[in-house]
Homo-oligomer: A and B are copies of this chain.
């Protein structure tokens, strides 16, 4: 353990005379054998993961939000156009990924505090709980959009829902990219939750 670490073991002198009769009161023992450096590394890894997740979450929201295609032919009454606005699931996707991206940006300062104070267990606990919720939101948005994208690509003959990707190829490609980005975000969140739990065990 380096001398610069803040892990200290406060053992009152009474333990020498009192023997093994410690009652758990007044004895504040912070036991962290060589956990300081490990915890700092984990906290930095956590911070980098958050940066990656911000990029993928906002990329997903932006790709979906700008997906818009107007076909080059039109009739007198109707112009053929596809946009994410047409499907409520895609609207939910944009909102959910924007919320997740915003949460991630707001969580960065807390992650930095975890790098500086490696033994902030309460803060890590808070981040873990919020990460688990953000993971749920990301997965829900991604899975719902994936179900609709699959339908747009393949259609379903049993329910007479026709595929629309023959006509709106660019739209489908962009939407599919957004779904992939949201799935990457979900994987990063799973890693974040696992890393937080491991760090929590060592604090």
Given A150-B89, A158-B86: A129 and B29 interface contact (C-beta under 8 Å): no
Contact pick for A139, options B89, B140, B196, CB 8 Å: B140
Total interface residues on A, CB under 8 Å, equals 64
A121 interface residue, CB < 8 Å from B? yes
- Residues of B within 8 Å of A31, CB to CB, are 24, 27-31
With an 8 A cutoff between CB atoms, is A141 at the interface? yes
Contact (Cβ within 8 A) B24 A132: no
Residues on B with C-beta less than 8 A from A152 are: 159
Contact A24 B32 (CB under 8 A): yes
Task: Give the residue of B13, B16, B133 whose beta carbon is less than 8 angstroms from that of A190.
Answer: B133
A31-B29, A140-B142, A143-B141 known; A158 and B87 CB under 8 Å?
yes
Among A65-101, those with CB < 8 Å from B are 82, 86-89
User: Shortest 5 CB-CB distances between A and B: which pairs?
Assistant: A16-B16, A24-B33, A86-B158, A140-B143, A144-B147
